[in-house]
């Protein structure tokens, strides 16, 4: 046959394809084959965002498999795309003139139905398979989690076991997915002075296992009212959240409660320092905080009445104020009173001795010093000061005796002077007559009996006996020696008398509980008794 040129076979023909692939496989088959995990094509390390793309691969005949090996980090997801390709070609005999005889079309995209497996690090466990599409259609799996952490994984490409060759392209993508663990919220209770509490104050070490930055939110949000509010602290990492509860305690102002205060000055001067707790009458704090008490003005305080403010302050600086009075009474000093104020010996038997006791009282509010008691030192009179105390405390008394021992006819008289730093008193002593018959002597001194009852609450009975008719002054004095009531002033007949004190002063107001003195003055003498009033 003569040589000739035919252009009917331009471009790649079936024979070329068969020569390039059929029976020889692709370049990954050599030098070690890649039909097993142990001889797999080693792609190397694929990290987050990396991919492997390879064209012109084949699975040839019924026993060929292609294995690919790659090393990935923990948390990886794998996506695989398997694309069969080849094109459609006319298959028929070649004529002598170079033409083709009619034949059939062959689609080399549909030679075999390819599948693939994603295989675990143990080279045998199939994690996922791509085998759902019909022949000639792309097989694809996306975002398959690789469960064994960092290490080697495999992709196996295989056919159905027919003696045909199929061209394909494969792409393997790796995406590293970092697993997110929820944060752990940890709360603490918070105390606040002003109610301006933020989430960071309530947080007590909340954390995130993945070390993600955290956001903190309080519900309800502040500022918060005085008292207690239960809040939720919400801790989130942008995706997951955790919640804990806490109590926010906002300071509540204290409550000031006052009482008036009265105090007696001392002998060194009538200026008194008064502590704030003397004015406090039960101030309290709703939060049970310790309180600071201050007075304005701060003192010391002079005689009289001073208006003061008691300021009660808690540790947050919240305060309350109440008002009170401080009454300072200056001492009047010692005050002398004697009983009786005069002594009358009505009749004394010649050669006998008659005596009368004189009591010295201190009705003041400071110690009284007796500097001297003199007089009546000439016969027939004399003084007996045995047992006399020269210092008399407030409300107390001491006594001495004045005596007469007539040696001749009467009458006679003398005076006793009692000298103290609480005043001076002169006591007139008279001898009316001297008799020769025993028993004629009659007591002529005034007698003031103790009050009844004593102590008393509302009324006290006062009994006294007068030896002769005369003017009577019955007065009530307080501990400071001030006369607060005149019970009687006028003439009374001799004999026994009874009067009543209703516990009120000259203004008609009931007096406070305490010690009071009742003094009876009569020309025959003076006497004082003590009365105790109770509330």
Q: Please check the confidence at residue 227 and state whether its pLDDT lies above 50.
A: yes
Could you give the C-alpha distances from 345 to 351, 407, 441, 444, in angstroms and in order? 14, 14, 8, 7
Which residue range forms the structural domain that includes residue 196? 190-250
Distance CA 224, CA 423 (A): 70
Domain boundary among 435, 456, 489: 435
Distance CA 76, CA 67 (A): 19
Return the DSSP state at 198: -
Domain boundary among 250, 279, 298: 250
- What's the CATH number where 488 sits? 2.60.40.4070
For the chain, give the mean pLDDT: 87
The verdict on residue 345 lying in a domain is: yes
* Residue 55 and residue 135 in one domain: yes
Q: What is the DSSP string of 416-444?
A: EEEEEBTEEEEEEEEE--EESSTT---B-
* Residue 267 and residue 377 in one domain: no
Distance CA 70, CA 491 (A): 136
Domain boundary among 408, 435, 462: 435
For residue range 490-507, what is the model confidence (pLDDT) as tens digits? 999 988 899 999 999 999
* Residue 489 and residue 523 in one domain: yes
* Residue 64 and residue 22 in one domain: yes
The verdict on residue 2 lying in a domain is: no
The verdict on residue 63 lying in a domain is: yes
For residue range 126-159, what is the model confidence (pLDDT) as tens digits? 999 999 999 999 999 999 999 998 999 999 999 9
Distance CA 422, CA 128 (A): 120
The verdict on residue 256 lying in a domain is: no
The verdict on residue 182 lying in a domain is: no
| CB within 8 Å of 334: residues ≥ 6 apart | 362, 364, 365, 366, 367, 368, 369, 392, 394, 420, 421, 422, 423
* Residue 26 and residue 172 in one domain: yes
Query: How many structural domains compose the chain?
Result: 5
| Percent of the chain's residues with pLDDT above 90 | 56
Could you give the C-alpha distances from 59 to 109, 126, 365, in angstroms and in order? 12, 20, 128
Q: Please check the confidence at residue 389 and state whether its pLDDT lies above 70.
A: yes
pTM of the model: 0.44
Distance CA 351, CA 370 (A): 33
The verdict on residue 1 lying in a domain is: no
* Residue 134 and residue 274 in one domain: no
Q: So what's the pLDDT on residue 344?
A: 84
Region of poorest pLDDT, from 346-350, 357-361, 437-441, 485-489:
437-441
* Residue 59 and residue 166 in one domain: yes
Query: Is residue 72 helix, strand or coil?
Result: strand
Region of poorest pLDDT, from 22-31, 39-48, 183-192, 237-246:
22-31
* Residue 415 and residue 455 in one domain: no
The verdict on residue 3 lying in a domain is: no
For residue range 60-90, what is the model confidence (pLDDT) as tens digits? 777 789 999 999 999 899 999 999 988 777 7
For residue range 362-376, what is the model confidence (pLDDT) as tens digits? 888 788 999 999 999
324-348 core/surface letters (b: 16 or more CB in 10 A; e: else): bebebebbebbbbbbbbbbbbbbbb
On whether the CB atoms of residues 491 and 469 are closer than 8 A, the answer is yes
Q: So what's the pLDDT on residue 333?
A: 82
If pLDDT is split at 50, 70 and 90, which confidence band does 514 have?
confident
Q: Please check the confidence at residue 100 and state whether its pLDDT lies above 70.
A: no
The verdict on residue 217 lying in a domain is: yes
* Residue 341 and residue 319 in one domain: no
If pLDDT is split at 50, 70 and 90, which confidence band does 269 have?
low
| CB within 8 Å of 286: residues ≥ 6 apart | 252, 253, 254, 255
Distance CA 393, CA 208 (A): 82
> Token pair for residue 129?
């398979």
Q: So what's the pLDDT on residue 193?
A: 94
* Residue 234 and residue 97 in one domain: no
* Residue 92 and residue 29 in one domain: yes
Q: So what's the pLDDT on residue 10?
A: 45
Q: So what's the pLDDT on residue 23?
A: 43
- What's the CATH number where 364 sits? 2.60.40.10
* Residue 56 and residue 156 in one domain: yes
């Amino acid at each position: 046959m003569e040589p000739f040129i035919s252009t009917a076979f331009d471009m790649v023909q079936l024979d070329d394809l068969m020569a390039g692939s059929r029976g020889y496989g692709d370049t990954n088959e050599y030098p070690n084959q890649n039909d097993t995990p142990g001889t797999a094509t080693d792609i190397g390390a694929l990290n987050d965002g990396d991919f492997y793309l390879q064209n012109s691969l084949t699975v040839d005949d019924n026993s060929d498999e292609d294995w690919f090996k790659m090393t990935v980090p923990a948390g990886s997801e794998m996506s695989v795309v398997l694309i069969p390709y080849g094109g459609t070609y006319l298959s028929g005999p070649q004529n002598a003139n170079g033409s083709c005889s009619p034949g059939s079309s062959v689609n080399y995209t549909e030679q075999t139905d390819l599948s693939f497996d994603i295989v675990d690090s143990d080279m045998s466990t199939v994690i996922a398979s791509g085998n759902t599409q019909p022949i000639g259609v792309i097989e694809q799996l996306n975002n398959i989690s690789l469960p064994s952490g960092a290490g080697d994984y495999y992709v196996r490409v295989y056919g159905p076991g027919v003696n045909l060759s199929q061209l394909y392209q494969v792409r393997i993508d790796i995406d590293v997915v970092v697993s997110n663990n929820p944060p752990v919220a940890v709360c603490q209770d918070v105390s606040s002075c002003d109610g301006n509490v933020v989430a960071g104050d309530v947080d007590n070490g909340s954390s995130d296992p993945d070390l993600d930055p955290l956001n903190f939110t309080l519900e309800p949000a502040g500022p918060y009212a005085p008292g207690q509010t239960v809040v939720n602290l919400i801790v989130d990492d942008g995706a997951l959240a955790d919640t804990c509860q806490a109590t926010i305690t906002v300071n509540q102002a204290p409550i000031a409660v006052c009482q008036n205060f009265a105090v007696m000055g001392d002998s060194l001067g009538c200026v008194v320092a008064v502590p704030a707790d003397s004015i406090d009458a039960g101030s309290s704090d709703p939060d049970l905080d310790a309180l600071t008490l201050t007075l304005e003005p701060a003192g010391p305080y002079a005689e009289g009445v001073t208006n003061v403010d008691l300021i009660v302050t808690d540790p947050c600086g919240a305060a309350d104020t109440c008002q009170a009075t401080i009454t300072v009474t200056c001492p009047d000093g010692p005050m002398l009173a004697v009983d009786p104020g005069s002594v009358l010996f009505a009749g004394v038997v010649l050669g006998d001795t008659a005596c009368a006791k004189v009591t010295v009282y201190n009705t003041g509010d400071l110690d009284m010093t007796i500097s001297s008691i003199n007089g009546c030192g000439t016969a027939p009179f004399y003084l007996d000061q045995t047992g006399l105390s020269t210092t008399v405390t407030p409300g107390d008394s001491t006594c001495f005796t004045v005596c007469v021992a007539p040696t001749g006819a009467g009458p006679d008289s003398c005076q006793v002077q009692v000298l103290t730093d609480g005043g001076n008193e002169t006591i007139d002593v008279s001898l009316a007559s001297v008799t020769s018959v025993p028993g004629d002597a009659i007591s002529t001194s005034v007698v003031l009996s103790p009050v009844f009852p004593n102590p008393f609450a509302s009324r006290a009975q006062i009994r006294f006996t007068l030896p002769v008719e005369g003017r009577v002054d019955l007065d009530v004095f307080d501990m400071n020696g001030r006369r607060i009531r005149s019970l009687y002033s006028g003439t009374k007949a001799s004999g026994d008398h009874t009067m009543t004190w209703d516990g009120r002063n000259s203004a008609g107001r009931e007096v406070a509980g305490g010690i009071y003195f009742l003094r009876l003055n009569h020309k025959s003498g003076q006497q004082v008794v003590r009365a105790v009033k109770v509330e």
